Structure formats: C-alpha cells, structure tokens
Amino acid sequence: MCGCGDRHEPGTPTPYDAGRAELATGRRTLLKAGGGVAFSAAAGLATASGGLAEAAPARRERRRVYVLVVDGCLPEEVTGGQTPHLFELMVTGQRWRRAQSMPIMETIPNHVMMMTGVRPDRSGVPANAIYDRRLRDVRDLDRPSDLRADTIIQRLNRRGLRTGTVLSKEYLYGIFGARATARWEPAPIIPVSGHAPDEFTINAAMQMVEDVDPHLMFVNLGDIDRYGHTDVTGPLGAKVLRRLALLKTDAYVGRFVQMLKDRGTWKDSMVLVLADHSMDWSTPTSVISLAGPLDDDPFLRGKVQIADNGGADLLYWTGATRQREEAVRRMLRIAKAEPGVLSAHDRRTRWLRLGPEAGEVVVFCRAGWRFSDPDPLTSNPIPGNHGHPATRPIPFFVNGGHPRLKHRAASSAVAQTVDVAPTVASFFGVRGRPRGGWDGKARV
C-alpha cells in the first residue's frame, strides 16, 4: 500500500480508536460546541460549563493565526478561474511562488515540519510509512510518540495561548494527538480514505473559531489530495475529480475567510495557506516494484524491507550490521537500474536529512511513475501519488488584516513547509528557538 492511506493491521487500534479511548477514560473531555461538532480538550483545561479555562495572556493577545493546508494542491492549480477565493487571497496577500515541500514529500512529515520548524532528522518523522524495526512491520507514523520534537503548538500553549487542531486525516489526528488546547474529533470519516470531507472540516474550523477562538489553529483540508489520489483521469490530465475538489475546497476557504471578516477577527489575523506536497499521476503500466529485483540478489534476498511511500521507496537492511555497507551499495545499484527510477540515495546523504527512521536507501521515481511495493499489482493501485521530486512545489501565501502583513507582494525566496513554525513564532513574538535552532525561516 502506498503511504497515503491508513495502514493498520486488522485488530490494532487506529488513532481514532485511541482518541475515543481517551474520552472514555476521562483523560480528555468533550467541550461544549455548536453545530453538532465535537472538540476535545485535556481534562484539566475544561471548565465545568464545557468551556476552556483561560489564562491571562490569552485575554491580552488579540493576534490570530490560521494555517490552512490545502493538502496535495499544486501551485499552478491556484488560478482565478479554478480557485477564485484562494487566488484572491494569494494575489492580494504576500506570495512565495517558488515554495517547496521537503523530503519525503508526504503528508505526515510535512505537517510535522510545519508545526515543529525542524527537519525529519530532528523530529523523527521522515515519511508517512516506515519500517518499524522493533515491530518488524511497515506502519504509518501516526502515534503521538512518533513525533519527538517540540511543536509551535506546545510553545504557544506554554505561553498561555489557545491552540486548536482541525485535521481531517486519521494519521494527522493521530500524530498530533492531544498537543493542541482543543482538538476536533473528526466526523464523519470516509472509511477507505480515512479522512473527513472538507465540508465538515471547514464547518469544524469555523465552529472552533466561534467556540474556542484559538490563537493558532492548524487546519488540514484533505479533499484535494484524496480526490487526486483516486482520480483515474489524472494521468491524461483531465483530473475530473480533482478539479471538482479544488472548486469545492476553494469555496470552503472563501467561507472561512468571510467568517473571519464578519466576526471582526480579520484585522488581527494572519492566514497562511500552503500545501504539504503536490501530486503526480501514473498509469498502471508505469509502476516500479523493487521487491522482486532486490530479492533476486542473493546477498539481499529476504533481508530488505520496503516502506512504500507512493513516489518514494524507503529500503531497510535487516541483515547483519557488518554487511550494511555492501547492502547499501547493492540496493543503490539495483534501484538505479529500474525503469522509472529517477534517483536513489544513501539515506545518510546530507541534504536529505531524514534520520535513521528512513532506513538505508531512499529511492525516488520519475514523474508519471509510482512505486508499488512489495506487490507490484496490489500494494499501490492508485493513480495519484506524491513523495518524489516532481511533487515538491506547493502554493504558499499569507494574507490577513494584521498591519504587519504585506499586501500584493511577492517574494522570490524559496519558502518551505518547515518555515511555518518560525513564521508563526515570529508573528506572535515568541522568543527562543528549538535547541539547535529552526531549520526554517520566518517569512513575515
């Protein structure tokens, strides 16, 4: 299976199961919310009336930041005709037209980079799917404990500010766990995709503004990505489902911004819109499966595990440590020889900055291809994928009424997902940095 769906063995608890257990055991409490939407908070933060206990700094702080992730959106998809609301936000705000997702160009690591401001070698989250050497299985990085770095969410919490997560995808709900002051309990969930449709997500975000009014709210809108993954017209460029999702999600963002203006919040706000990665489409004839070729090598046979992340394969050596270097050489050679492979890298290659969780070798596919490992037919049958360099560019722009923000401005700088946390920190005037500094840069 590619790294884009949820990956759980039957019988093991999902992140949603874990969330429900937290509520059932009283470790988290449901807040009083309108519109049939469920928000939860840590038990100690909820008041008897179902609201949030408020610290003094929260009362004084009027600034608000809304990070809206239009999951999987390409920068060129933000156009006046297709996404008029996003386009208007972009051209009237400040834009970075050469913005990038970071390796591995997948959902979980890039959302983590947004909130931590550090690269995967420091956060422990390099991809959606990894081979867990302890469990001896490939799994999603969807557990709160998988994320080892401090987040801007927690930094603001410690300053007494309110934070909120409205995350449409199961694994994002899982990895960010209970870090925010208030968390949306997503519903309804589409079973196969494991995400809540944007209509519900945006309603939840608007309701959270009304009920919780977080200083920082982190929203993932998953439809553009989810429709893109399954769009069989993608390889031909028609992208029928995808275009429908873009149209709808754009309208939802328009509603959200209008709500901020109607409430009078806009003048104190910064809305940061970006994607976590973009998307690329392949046909069933453009599939790479490395499991067979690796297994054909007697030295490697049975001693390599593959975590398939759609556009990137992570290869793990499970044999003797003393044989690792030879194994890496062989894996690199075999991977590079496969049609459709763009590049293969020793994971320790400096620019990758992925950390040991990403295994020994990282392999990227060309545009118009995908990985399907270990089974070439069933592991990854979906046409839309990401994780490879072709899916690196993303939209990235800020807007809002706060006087610190520029309008109708553009920068030639290359913004990155890892810039979000330092940007938020800068906007709130949060001093101090993570130990070792930010890997990103403040963009306002």
413 binds another protein (CB under 8 A): yes
- Position 237 contacts another protein (CB under 8 A): yes
Q: Are 75 and 99 in contact (CB under 8 A)?
A: yes
107 versus 193: smaller Cβ distance to another protein: 107
* SS3 state at 315: strand
Return the structure tokens found at 301.
């046979």
- C-alpha 283/C-alpha 261 separation (Å) is 44
Is residue 23 involved in binding another protein (CB under 8 A)?
no
- Quote the tokens at residue 320: 């003797």
- Is residue 283 part of the contact set for another protein (CB under 8 A)? no
Q: Which residues contact 126 (CB under 8 A, 6 or more apart)?
A: 103, 104, 109, 120, 314, 354, 355, 357, 358
Q: Which is nearer to another protein, 11 or 81 (CB)?
A: 81
DSSP structure class, residue 347: T
One-letter amino acid at 88 equals E
- Count residues contacting another protein (CB under 8 A)? 26
| Given 91, 244, 430, 442, the residue binding another protein (CB under 8 A) | 91
Q: Which is nearer to another protein, 169 or 388 (CB)?
A: 388
Query: Among residues 83, 278, 380, 417, which is the contact residue for another protein, using CB under 8 A?
Result: 278
Considering the complex, what minimum distance in angstroms separates the CB of residue 353 from another protein?
Answer: 15
244 near another protein (CB under 8 A): no
Considering only CA atoms, which of 20, 54, 106, 50 is closest in space to residue 394? 106
Q: Per rule CB under 8 A, is residue 342 in the interface with another protein?
A: yes
The interface mask with another protein, positions 143-182, x = CB under 8 A, is: ----------------------------------------
Regarding 286 and contact with another protein (CB under 8 A), the answer is: no
Dihedral in degrees, nearest 10, Cα atoms 221, 226, 232, 238: 10
Q: How far is the CB of 155 from another protein (least distance, A)?
A: 29
User: Would you say 23 or 410 has its CB closer to another protein?
Assistant: 410
Q: Which of 282, 350, 365 minimizes the C-alpha distance to 105?
A: 365
Task: Find the binder of another protein among 410, 426, 430, 441 (CB under 8 A).
Answer: 410
Give the nearer residue to another protein in terms of CB position, either 217 or 245.
245
Residue type, 145: S
Give the C-alpha separation, 225 to 245, whole Å: 9
Question: What is the spatial distance between Cα 252 and Cα 265, in angstroms, rounded to a whole number?
Answer: 18
Segment lying near another protein (by CB under 8 A), choices 31-39, 73-81, 209-217, 421-429 = 73-81
CB 52 → another protein: shortest distance, Å? Answer: 40
CA pair distance 370, 280, nearest whole angstrom: 9
**Which of the ranges 233-241, 243-251, 263-271, 290-298 carries the binding residues for another protein, by CB under 8 A?**
233-241
Nearer to another protein, 161 or 394 (CB): 394
In the complex with another protein, the residue whose CB is nearer, 322 or 408, is 408
DSSP class of 144:
G
Neighbours of 73 (CB within 10 A): 29
Q: Which is nearer to another protein, 87 or 173 (CB)?
A: 87
Shortest distance (Å) from residue 364 CB to another protein = 9
Please pick, from the candidates 414, 426, 433, 442, the single residue that binds another protein as defined by CB under 8 A: 414
Cβ of residue 102: shortest distance to another protein, in angstroms? 12
Q: How far, rounded to the nearest angstrom, does the alpha carbon of residue 287 sit from its chain's CA centroid?
A: 24
Amino acid of residue 9: E
Please identify, among the stretches 72-80, 204-212, 355-363, 433-441, the one whose residues bind another protein according to the rule CB under 8 A.
Answer: 72-80
Contact 113, 298 (CB under 8 A): no
Kindly list the distances between the CA atom of residue 362 and the CA atoms of 28, 57, 296, 337, in Å, as whole numbers in the listed order. Answer: 39, 45, 19, 14
Q: Which is nearer to another protein, 179 or 366 (CB)?
A: 366
> Which pair of tokens denotes residue 21?
């257990």
Burial of 359 (0-12, 13-18, 19+ CB in 10 A): buried
Location of structure tokens 């290659």:
349
CA distance between the termini of the chain: 39
Q: Taking CB under 8 A as the rule, does residue 79 contact another protein?
A: yes
- For another protein, the binding residues in 356-395 under the rule CB under 8 A are 366-368, 389-393
Nearest distance, CB of residue 389 and another protein, angstroms = 5
Choice from 236, 320, 337, 377 touching another protein (CB under 8 A) = 236
Interface residues toward another protein, by CB under 8 A: 75-76, 79, 91, 95, 97-98, 236-238, 278, 342, 366-368, 389-393, 408, 410-414
